[in-house]
Chain A
Amino acid sequence: MTQTAPAGIVRRKGLRHRLMRILLFAVLGVFCLYYLLPLFIMMATSLKSLDEIRTGTLVSLPRQITFDAWLKAWGSACVGVRCDGLKPYIWNSVLMVVPAVAISTALGAVNGYALTKWRFPGANTIFALMLFGAFIPFQVVLLPMARTLGVLGLAGSVSGLILVHTVYGLAFTTLFFRNFFMGVSDGIVQAAKIDGAGFFGIFSQIVLPMALPAIVVTVIWQFTQIWNDFLFGVAFTVGDSNPVTVALNNVVNTSTGVKEYNVDMAAAIITALPTLLVYVLAGKYFVRGLAAGAVKG
């Protein structure tokens, strides 16, 4: 242990402390298993054939690994009447999530910056109102939003969904960036003002590069929220423009024929994969970003 411990921190030695550490890691191990078991079962099931699922037990490893279920879930499973698998819907989700995340994060960053570094009368009131938006449940905005989309002529389209997610996400992204920028010394912005930079010059050249941890946190948060969203997707899109979460639901809920658990599992994993990927790639920054501001310097 001593070699892998954070360099140089002195810690107590002795039997009692050794035992406590072993206990600690045992508990952590149990939690770890608890979280990983469902994933394992999904993985295992998706790699089994239907016969094997019917005869075997839930937790057993597949006897014979087959990717048929994955291929079917990806390319040929039936979503409603259309049997092209999840592929087109994944694409819908990507088309929705990328602009929605980008726009809401960018606007949140500008908002947070303006609210903290160019304070104007009423800034706190505006922020309080925006914060209020973060606590409004999805269900409350459904009807007004549907009406708005109808008026704008965006009903049932991916663009409509982008707008919904951007607007709804703004409360969160503004909150994240505002809190991050609160911790950034005003002096830095003042120095840049004296150096001759303006509102957007300071934003793009000084403030935004500093905000990398906040950007990562916000992007991950928004990505997971928007990608995983089901309610807005099912409410504001129809058939071909459904995001993948809605399509997954339709795959699993298809009532015709036998229940293909392996295809369902594979489809579920495929749907969840992008968020997993984002965590793996940027998780390091996520944790760092959440802790940012806790310690100065």
Chain B
Amino acid sequence: MDEPIIRLDHISKKLSVKNGGEEIVTKILVDISFDIAQGEFTAITGPSGSGKTTLLYLMGGLDRPDTGRAFLDGQEISAMEEEELAEMRNAKLGFVYQFHFLLPEFSAVENVMMPMLARGRASTGEARRRAAELLSELGLSDRLHNKPNQLSGGQQQRVAIARALANSPKVLLADEPTGNLDSKNAETIYKLFSDLNTRTGQTIVVVTHDEHFASETKRILHILDGQVSSDRQLR
């Protein structure tokens, strides 16, 4: 295999909270190193508060480590300026959160267009065509012009996934994407992720509580108290 798409090199992250005069420092992530190869489908599991979200944000260039280095697609993102990071996120990453975080004033198709329109990357016409295409692939062809509040939870999350895929990202990062869904809708989302991975070779990192979901992936990284406690290759 060639160069890993994500490489974390001795990453640590602390959190200092001012409590009165005292400064309380909590270690969130401690000396984490691992690689993720192109085309991998990885689940990150672990108890609540173990540092999974923090880890995902560091991989995605939303946050910066205190020590250690993070690489994405061969570039050191831990050394990038804010604007560089934003451009990198726009071009190479797709995020899905526990909450859909769609813009409420815009229709499904307009929400999916946003990452394409940001930074003047694509024309409105192009963006609209691609957004409609993506939504149709995710089974939402009859919901293109609905506002988020006119969609079910599962549909909202699928629109959010379409938005994350808008700029054909190198890596799709998802933080408990089924955390708010009933089991039937959650099942649809699992299938969608594994289809994406098998069909298009999309690299996916997904944080999940869900044992069943995790078992569908190819690799499980278990986090405990800010450290990788196990790293299992499933397939």
Q: A and B from one assembly?
A: no
